[in-house]
Amino acid sequence: MSFQVFGIPVSRGVAIGRAVLVASGRVDVAHYFIEVGGVEAEVDRLLHARDVVAHELETLQRELPEDAPQELWALLDVHLMLLRDETLTGATKHWIIERHYNAEWALSAQLEVLARQFDEMEDEYLRERKADLEQVVERVLRALSRDPAAATSSHVAADVTARDFGGEDPLLLVAADIAPADMMQFKRSVFHGFITDIGGKTSHTAIVARSMDIPAVVGAREASRLIRQDDWVIIDGDVGAVIVNPSPIVLEEYRFRQRQSELERARLARLRHTPAVTLDSERVELLANIELPADAPAALMAGATGVGLFRSEFLFMNRDGELPGEDEQFEAYRAAVEAMKGMPVTIRTVDVGADKPLDRMSTSELRHEHVLNPALGLRAIRWCLAEPSMFRQQLRAIYRASAYGKVRLLVPMVAHLSELRMIHEALTRVRQQLTDSGHAFSHVEIGVMIEVPAAAMMLPLMLKHVDFISIGTNDLIQYTLAIDRADEAVAHLYDAWHPAVLQLIAQSISQAHAAGKGVSVCGEMAGDVAFTDLLLAMGLRSFSMHPSQIPAVKQRLLRADASRLASQLPEVLASEDPQQTAQALFSSARSPTAASLYKH
């Protein structure tokens, strides 16, 4: 039966494929792919964990006191029966062998299948056995987590395709939510689209999906409950629709849209070597946002003239609580700097907390389940200053990388001048340490992100202490409007066109120019063509975005007259409906074509 689910569109385009469910449970489950040569060992891990649990249950049975209720013995017998049933273990092996899931993921996938079968049973007694099944699976998952072989399991290679998983069909990931750490595991895998029950336009899942340039819908509420493993699914990333088991007519219509989208991408790719210059000869800098050094080649392929945001926190994830050392960080930063071939690389100091907790963040200050509002807690520069040894270690690694190219340092979530003073004290100490130890380094420009309204309002004071600023529109909107940007319940209130938000951005750009300091926008607004004219009108000449967004933004600015846009800005900022006013006014300052658009 065909049906539709609606959510929030966060990454444009159409994806068609088979659903792969990542079930959420009481036990945290790692999700990664196993290399072909590691499949047999992974099956052995599963069977070993099953045997361990069977032994535990049999021991419990034997050690039951004589006066124990007969029902307790019978319950353990039921658990043993479920554990040994081929519909659990045998089918779980299938997920490992055919899809190359790690054992934990395979087991949770099969639990999802069986749990739905129990839900559909008419007999109430049998339906209630689902709870027993969940308890058995939880025991096996805990046994797997104690298995030292898990630490040596080989993850799948980056160039794997759907064909390696037993079929030609594209795969679409469906989950209640996807942790940032898991998103990085999936980033170079086989998935052609994402669907999550929760999240907003600027939640981390949405941001990574856009960086992968694949369609995604978040905040789809019941999607992971309604969609079954291997269902045929269409993701319409333009309108936020998810179509499950579509009819042949609908399927063909969306396949046609896919082909049209591919043609448009090919056309935009021709702009790669075209200079980013407006119709009135204003040169614009188009930079890339990256998560890992391996993302740098994609930035160059898209025509980026540098990296405006290297999110260093992703070097700290998926490490079982162990933070990267100075040398490991240095090698990563140097790799990114060298890959950009002399172009500037802006490295943001580790920005964790809120939607990006680290494995080692087990204190109550940093775990979501213990914090009423993690976005307002110990995150970003606050956490760095609370961990001075870790912070100085990262700063040393960044400075050492500056010997290999142009490096700029960006600090997130600064809101107090006292924080700036502590940052400069740390930098002074780091430079002295490097000099004493004989490590080479070059001049590094220091910048701060404008994400907190307080920072925007006191910007003239901050500009005395930094070389440049970068406006992080995602958090600036969140904090200005008091909206959790990852919460789909208030997603409709997240409004980048809100007059207060636009005033803060325009004011920040103007004040940076007045002080002779560099300014860029690295939030999602920079890569959204709906805001290109507006940001040009505000005087912005440095945009930083995901590489996949660069061609469309470049096409937009090539057709724009920046001086005419600027003359219309006051009317837009004074409007009660800035979006409507901008659409009406800015269209006259944009040419539908430009003679130099498609130079090779």
- The pLDDT value recorded for residue 300 is 95
368 is catalytic: no
Q: Does 454 have pLDDT greater than 80?
A: yes
Rounded-to-integer distance, Cα 564 and Cα 555, Å? 18
pLDDT of residue 509: 98
pLDDT(133) > 90: no
Percentage of the chain lying above the pLDDT 90 cut:
57
Taking 90 as the threshold, does the pLDDT of residue 158 lie above it? no
Distance in angstroms (rounded) separating the CA atoms of residues 392 and 5: 48
Amino acid found at 233: V
Give the containing element (helix H, strand E) for 290. Answer: strand 285-290
Domains along the chain with CATH numbers: 3-23+157-266 (3.50.30.10), 36-152 (1.10.274.10), 270-589 (3.20.20.60)
C-alpha to C-alpha distance for 540 and 553, rounded to whole angstroms: 13
Instruction: Give the pLDDT score at 485.
Output: 73
- Which segments are annotated as binding site? 311, 348, 451, 474-475, 485
Whether the Cβ atoms of residue 103 and residue 52 lie closer than 8 Å to each other: no
Where is the binding site for phosphoenolpyruvate, in residues?
311, 348, 474-475, 485
pLDDT, tens digit (0-9, with 9 covering 90-100), for 530-565 = 999 999 999 999 999 999 899 999 999 999 999 999
Mean pLDDT of 263-281: 92
On average, the pLDDT of the chain sits at: 86
DSSP per-residue letters across 233-255: EEEETTTTEEEES--HHHHHHHH
Least confident of 175-184, 210-219, 239-248, 444-453: 175-184
204 as an active site residue: the answer is yes
DSSP classification of residue 130: H
| From 79, 100, 204, 546, the catalytic residue | 204
Could you tell me what percent of the chain has a pLDDT over 70?
86
Residue 277 predicted with pLDDT over 80: yes
> What does the pLDDT look like over 376-408, one tens digit per residue?
888 899 999 999 999 999 999 999 999 999 999
Separation of alpha carbons 258 and 261, rounded Å: 5
In the set 100, 192, 522, 546, the catalytic residue is 522
Structure tokens at 421: 């003073």
Beta partners for residue 310, in sequence order: 290, 347
Kindly report the number of other CB atoms within 10 A of residue 124's CB atom.
7
The residue behind tokens 């790669």 is 272
AA identity, residue 456:
A
Find out whether 309 and 522 touch, Cβ atoms under 8 Å. Answer: yes
For 498-532, the pLDDT digits (tens) are 999 999 999 999 999 999 999 999 988 999 999 99
Cα–Cα distance for residue pair 421/160, rounded to 1 Å: 48
Q: Is the pLDDT of residue 353 over 50?
A: yes
188: its two tokens: 């170079």
Report pLDDT digits (tens) over 224-242. Answer: 889 988 899 999 999 999 9
Among 105-114, 194-203, 276-285, 553-562, the least confident range: 194-203
| Residues facing residue 22 across a β-bridge | 175
Nearest-10 Cα torsion for 525, 526, 527, 532: 90
β-bridge mates for residue 174, sequence order: 21, 195
Give residue 145's pLDDT: 82
CA distance 534 to 537: 5
> How high is the pLDDT of residue 594?
47
Averaged over 261-284, what is the pLDDT? Answer: 92
- Owner of token pair 């469910």: 21
